[in-house]
Each structure stands twice: as structure tokens, then as C-alpha cells.
Amino acid sequence: MSGKHYKGPEVSCCIKYFIFGFNVIFWFLGITFLGIGLWAWNEKGVLSNISSITDLGGFDPVWLFLVVGGVMFILGFAGCIGALRENTFLLKFFSVFLGIIFFLELTAGVLAFVFKDWIKDQLYFFINNNIRAYRDDIDLQNLIDFTQEYIPMQVESDVAFHSPAALKIPQKMSSTLSVAMMPGKNQKLTSRL
């Protein structure tokens, strides 16, 4: 007695190996992100004391690596094995999961547009909490420093306040002060004043 075999249309080899190769990249990227997250937790001593996960005062950027890496690993695995073995269950899981992620992103974008004032308030609250925990976590400190250095910030105060004329500073100090207000030049302000 021989087993029953599925006699459906055969999948093109080009499509099969393209999907396989594309998902292998994401699978390895997922493993890399998980490895970076676990390495960072090991360096901070979180893995040796698991209860310290809840002791963090602010947002721990390592969580982002772990969650993104885990999702990429699972999706990459399902896509790789599903495409290589033509496993319909894994391919359906892969496509449904990608569809769910797409609709969650679409819903988040629409809700962010509709509730932009509430999101702005929550973002300010989140940022203020993380600034209070600035010295507690070196990863958070590096993330805040990177954000301040490379992403232009919108200043809500009056621009004239920052000019030396508006501050009523003597002329010989105004050139030093205007140079000192540039990023990375703060040492000149303290040494010349």
C-alpha cells in the first residue's frame, strides 16, 4: 500500500529559491539581532540576575533588538522552510503573519494621524521618564546622545533668545558664545567666560 501524494501544480524553481534566499537573509538578521540583544543583556549583567529586567527605570533599547530579532527569526524560518520544502502550513503562517504585520502598521499609521495630540503628549511623557533614567542605563544614555546629535530637534522657544544680542552679552563675549553654542563646542564657553 503506497501513501497518497499531492498532485498539484509545481512551483517554479526561480520563485521557490528566490523566496528561500530572501528569507535566509531575514533569518540570519533575526539571529544577529537576537545575539546582539542577548550579548547586551549579558554585558549589563541582566542574564545573571533575571529579576533586574523589571528594575530598569526607563526604556531599555535591548528590548527592541530582542523583539525585532525574534519576529524576524520566526518569519525567516517559516519562509525558508516553507519555500524549500513547499510546506503549505508554514507558507500560510508566513503570509498570514506578514498580512497581520502590514495591517497593524496601517492601523497604527491611521490612529497616529487621528490621535496625534494624544500621541504627542504620551511621547513627551515617555521622553521625560527616560531622561530621568539617563544615568541608570548606559544603552539608554547612548540612545539619547545619538538622538540629540544626529536627529535635528525642533526647538519651541523663541529663536531670538539664543542670539547674543537678545541675551545682552558684551560684544567681545558674543563671538565666543555664538561659537560655543555649536554642538561639540561647549568647552569653549566655560573656558573663555
**Residue type present at position 184:** G
Residue 179 belongs to domain spanning: 162-192
Per-residue pLDDT of the chain (193 residues; tens, 9 = 90+): 454 545 666 777 888 888 888 889 989 999 999 999 888 888 877 777 766 666 655 567 788 888 999 999 999 999 988 888 888 898 899 999 999 999 999 999 999 999 999 989 988 888 787 777 777 777 778 777 877 787 776 555 444 444 444 444 444 444 443 444 444 444 443 434 3
Total tally of structural domains belonging to the chain: 2
**45 and 52 Cβ atoms separated by less than 8 Å:** yes
28 and 103 inside one domain: yes
54 and 143 inside one domain: yes
185 and 130 inside one domain: no
Cell of 41: 543583556
Start-to-end Cα distance in the chain: 95
Give a yes or no: residue 104 inside a domain. Answer: yes
Q: How far apart are CA 59 and CA 72, in angstroms?
A: 21
Compute the half-sphere exposure of residue 185: CA atoms within 13 Å on the CB side of its CA. Answer: 10
